[in-house]
Amino acid sequence: MSAKLRVHASTALLLAGVFCAGCGGGSSTPPNTIATSASNVQTITVDSGPTGGYANGVFTSVTVCVPSSSNCQTISGVLVDTGSYGLRLLSSAGGGALTLALPQQTASNGDPIGECTPFVSAYTWGSVATADVTISGEKASSLPLQVIDPTFAAVPSGCSSSAPAENDTLQTLGANGILGVGLLVQDCPDCALTGSSNPGLYYECSGTTCTVTTESLSQQVQNPVAAFATDNNGVIVELPQTSTTSSLSGSLVFGIGTQSNNGLGSATVYPISTDPSSPDFLAFNTAYNGQTYQGSFIDSGSNGYFFLDQSTTGLLTCGDFYCPNSQQNLSATVSGTGGGSSTVKFSIGDANSLFSNPTADVFPTLGGPSSGGLYFDWGLPFFFGRNVFTAINGAKTPGGTGPYWAF
């Protein structure tokens, strides 16, 4: 294996049936503006991450405190993820940076609450805790979050079978945590239900044994942006256009149309369906080579363009990535379920050649087949050269009520 993280890294929450959870980036016209320092602006960096081996990972830092105290810790190397919802920090037991003892969430009988979070390519397991969370000048008080911890009870079979692999250590996760700033407020609204309607992501643990439990909306791991006092209706990920390079800096801007630095401008809004029975639930359509594919999404936590498969695209593969003999310049048309349409131009290079560059960790032409279906996962390369807006479900913005993407 290369020193770089070469697996299909996708932190989009698995949503099936569950309401829970060259230059390849293309450029805006005119070129996108990167917001400067302000109370609602957090610096983000695409680099090799805390392991020194991550390809196309966008990272930032967060400060967590024991609620209503000055007992705090700043955690760097946290992956910025528009494909999930909620803050997840890797405990020191897993090789991560979190050493602060945060209050454990418990059931009425005092048993600790745990959570299994299934993503496209892996799952995380650990306890649910509470913290005051500060990012730039924004603060979320008493926020439920997940402490990823491989030593927290035994992983239930329902969790271990939910995704292909367990990412509960620094080496497997490749980050000190995940900052989920996606479309939803809570990470699993159906987990507040009883019976078969509950997808079973939250657990009550006694000793080493954990059983599925209901979890009220207020107790669930939550998108910290929605808990901010202001600038709480969504985010903008702003990264400049780039070629293959060692690192890249940009901004994570909180709020949409709440300050002078976060207006929609000329961006097109792509409304997103919130109907769990729809193939486009929390997704939109992508048309490619005359065929329309549903269930597509935009995800800064995915480290490449992941789309269709070799038989559909005709592109050669090498493991989890495409490796064409020469760079392929492609285009597709994206459309929201409630309006908005545009053509996206993107390029796919040979992953083997890209990874052979020992000094590079930013790859705008990295791509591979989508995992388990024919859809488009517009990962981090899509963000290069664009200001990409993610509006939270139910939040009012100048572009309408979320959820939507805009760019």
> In the chain, what are the domains?
41-227 (2.40.70), 265-406 (2.40.70)
Find the Cα–Cα–Cα–Cα dihedral 151, 177, 67, 135, rounded to 10°: 170
Which residues does 291 contact at the CB level (< 8 Å), separation at least 6?
none
Residues facing residue 400 across a β-bridge: 397
Q: Give pLDDT, residue 187.
A: 96
Alpha helices in 174-270 (DSSP H): none
How many Cβ atoms are within 10 Å of 101's Cβ, its own excluded?
A: 9
List pLDDT tens digits, range 334-343: 999 989 999 9
Residues facing residue 252 across a β-bridge: 42, 237
Q: State the Cα–Cα distance between residues 251 and 124, nearest whole angstrom.
A: 26
Q: State the Cα–Cα distance between residues 98 and 170, nearest whole angstrom.
A: 11
pTM: 0.94
Q: Give pLDDT, residue 277.
A: 85
Q: State the Cα–Cα distance between residues 34 and 106, nearest whole angstrom.
A: 42
Phi, psi (deg, nearest 5) at residue 128: -105, 125
Q: State the Cα–Cα distance between residues 93 and 101, nearest whole angstrom.
A: 12
Q: State the Cα–Cα distance between residues 217 and 54, nearest whole angstrom.
A: 33
Alpha helices in 243-317 (DSSP H): 310-313
Q: Give pLDDT, residue 26.
A: 41
Tokens 């995380």 -> residue: 124
- Say if CB 162 and CB 75 are below 8 A apart: no
DSSP 311: H
HSE-up of residue 262 (Cα within 13 Å, Cβ side): 29
Burial class (CB in 10 A: 0-12, 13-18, 19+), 225: buried
Residues of the chain with pLDDT under 50: 1-8, 14-29
CA angle 161, 9, 329 (to 5 degrees): 135
Q: Give pLDDT, residue 88.
A: 98
Name the nearest CA neighbour of 26 among 347, 351, 360. 347
Q: Give pLDDT, residue 13.
A: 55
- Say if CB 180 and CB 138 are below 8 A apart: no
Phi, psi (deg, nearest 5) at residue 59: -125, 155
Phi, psi (deg, nearest 5) at residue 112: -70, 150
Radius of gyration of the chain (CA): 20
